[in-house]
Amino acid sequence: MSEAGSLLGIGFNDPFTVGLIGLAFMFVLVLSGVRVVFAASITGLLGLVELLGWGPAAGIIGTIPHSKSSTYALSVLPMFIFIGFLAFHAGITQQLFNAARKWLAWLPGGLAVATVMATAGFGAVSGASTATAAVFSRVAIPEMLKNGYDRKLAAGVVAAGGTLASLIPPSAILVIYAIIVEESVGALLLAGFLPGFVSALIYAGIIVLWALYRPKEAPAMEPSTWPERFKSLPGVSPIILVVAIIMSSIYYGWATPTEAGALGATVVFILALFKGTRTKTIVQALMESAKLTAMIFSLIWGVLIFVRFLGFSGLPEAFTSWITNLDAPPIVIMICILLAYAILGMFMDAIGMLLLTLPVVYPAVMALGYDSIWFGIIVVKMAEVCLITPPIGLNCFVVNGVRPDIPLGDVFRGVGLFFIADVVTIALLLMFPEIVTWLPELMRG
């Protein structure tokens, strides 16, 4: 199989058909349980062999893993990942929850509102949704149950609150989006802040409404005194420091995202040492970070091999012209795309789903006239919703894993409320794209 066209007999005469066959082939491989990195890269290789012949195809893909991985922009990923694995050991979760409780517990459903705000705060040092859900299953659920909260609500708020971490910087998934679509990493990280905060407010709002409707499921508590409230603040200062480092460095440009991530990680690392974290645990966090980094980088170069083939096939351009010629307003097409993501996300891992679909979907969305940063936030929000939808909503399984006494069914029922909140958030982001674009545009001046 050295000549072009030796696999299918099509070669470069009809690259579009080769592209379609390749797409279908990869889909079958992924469904058969082939790991995404292998499915994407072998499809890329075989597709390029059909279009260009063996020599050029293998020559091209042989350079891709190294050349695509050794870029400075990607070096922010291991930093964010390491922060995530250390965040729990820095011992800030309990203080965060305490502070949020002192300030917010007087509200109807106050403890649940406090949980949402604390998960959002924890999301500011950790980019990992599942880790956030795991940590708060331990910190917040016992408190809520002790105070007479309905266990469905208590479990649901933690599972859903965990998803906030992926929008609030530092967020690994936003970095991956930026790399794949060749956008500014800093702009995307900055753009996620406000939508993450808005998501948290909408979660809080829906909890308050629910608690007013069913006060027995989420009783309000005695308000704390003002001195008590202010006394709780020093405990959360490390979080404020990390947020200030990451946000201000990107906004004012005094450090690159990697440097900001490194500085943030150093702060969290020192905190973890102060909390008496053992060397063994630090080494373990490094081993886990290295493993996750290898997984994400494999996905990135695997998908980029596939993307190289797609580029030669002209499939993305064909899909784009098909989408733009549809006799439907862009907003309808956008809603269809989001629905497709919602369905796909029920069965696929968030990062895998984004990486496999974006090479085709992204150019079409751009041709429809949408903003690339805005679309990144929307699509990551969609991917996060998938972490709480059945049948494989990982966050719900995590809550159930930490609290086996709360049946999985109850967790899934509990997140129903927050699923509605997420739909509201996405609708808001569709109607008011400024929520996303305001901060990055302010930075660009």
Partner 1 sequence: MNDSTVKSNSGFIATLDKLATPIENIANFLAGLAIFILMFMGAAQVILRTVFNSPIAGYIDLVQLAMASMAFLGAAYCQRLNAHIRMELFVGSLNGRALWAFEIFSTLVALFIIAVLILYGWDHFVRSYDSGDTTIDAEYIVWPSKLLVPVAFALWFFRLIIQLIGSINMFINPDREPVGIAKIQHVSEVANDEIKETFGTDVPDEGGLKS
* Cβ-contact 395, 162 below 8 angstroms: yes
**CA separation for the pair 162, 156 (Å, rounded):** 10
CB of 57 to partner 1, least distance (A): 9
For residues 241-270, which are near partner 1 according to CB under 8 A? 249, 254-255, 258-263, 265-266, 269
Residue 77 or 188: which CB sits closer to partner 1?
77
The reply on whether position 48 binds partner 1 by CB under 8 A is no
The reply on whether position 294 binds partner 1 by CB under 8 A is yes
**CA separation for the pair 185, 312 (Å, rounded):** 26
Residue 132 or 224: which CB sits closer to partner 1?
132
Task: With CA atoms as reference, report the closest residue to 80 among 259, 335, 261.
Answer: 261
* Cβ-contact 199, 427 below 8 angstroms: no
CA 48 from centre of chain: 31
Query: Taking contact as CB under 8 A, which single stretch among the options 109-117, 205-213, 362-370, 397-405 is the one that binds partner 1?
Result: 397-405
For residues 147-186, which are near partner 1 according to CB under 8 A? none
* Cβ-contact 37, 339 below 8 angstroms: no
Residue 152 or 194: which CB sits closer to partner 1?
152
The reply on whether position 124 binds partner 1 by CB under 8 A is no
CB of 174 to partner 1, least distance (A): 18
**CA separation for the pair 349, 341 (Å, rounded):** 11
Structure token digits, residue 189 = 């990280």
The one among 18, 19, 23, 89 contacting partner 1 by CB under 8 A = 89
Residue 310 or 429: which CB sits closer to partner 1?
310
Query: Taking contact as CB under 8 A, which single stretch among the options 189-197, 233-241, 291-299, 326-334 is the one that binds partner 1?
Result: 291-299
The reply on whether position 79 binds partner 1 by CB under 8 A is yes
Amino acid 369 reads: G
Query: Taking contact as CB under 8 A, which single stretch among the options 193-201, 215-223, 317-325, 347-355 is the one that binds partner 1?
Result: 347-355
Residue 227 or 391: which CB sits closer to partner 1?
391
Phi, psi dihedral angles at 304 (to 5 degrees): -70, -30
- Residue count of the chain, please give it: 445
Residue 184 or 425: which CB sits closer to partner 1?
184
Residue 135 or 200: which CB sits closer to partner 1?
135
**CA separation for the pair 88, 75 (Å, rounded):** 22
Structure token digits, residue 196 = 């993450």
DSSP code, position 234: G
Distances (CA, A) of 334 to 148, 337, 344, 364, 370: 42, 5, 15, 10, 9
The reply on whether position 74 binds partner 1 by CB under 8 A is yes
CB of 256 to partner 1, least distance (A): 8
Task: With CA atoms as reference, report the closest residue to 307 among 255, 357, 343, 272.
Answer: 357
The reply on whether position 66 binds partner 1 by CB under 8 A is yes
Residue 129 or 437: which CB sits closer to partner 1?
129
Query: Taking contact as CB under 8 A, which single stretch among the options 112-120, 212-220, 295-303, 331-339 is the one that binds partner 1?
Result: 295-303
Please state at what angle helix 15-31 crosses helix 350-367, rounded to 10 degrees. 150
Residue 19 or 352: which CB sits closer to partner 1?
352
The reply on whether position 199 binds partner 1 by CB under 8 A is no
* Cβ-contact 60, 304 below 8 angstroms: no
The size of the interface with partner 1 (CB under 8 A), counted in residues, is: 92
The one among 17, 69, 357, 372 contacting partner 1 by CB under 8 A = 69
Instruction: Report how far apart the first and last C-alpha atoms of the chain are (Å, whole number).
Output: 54
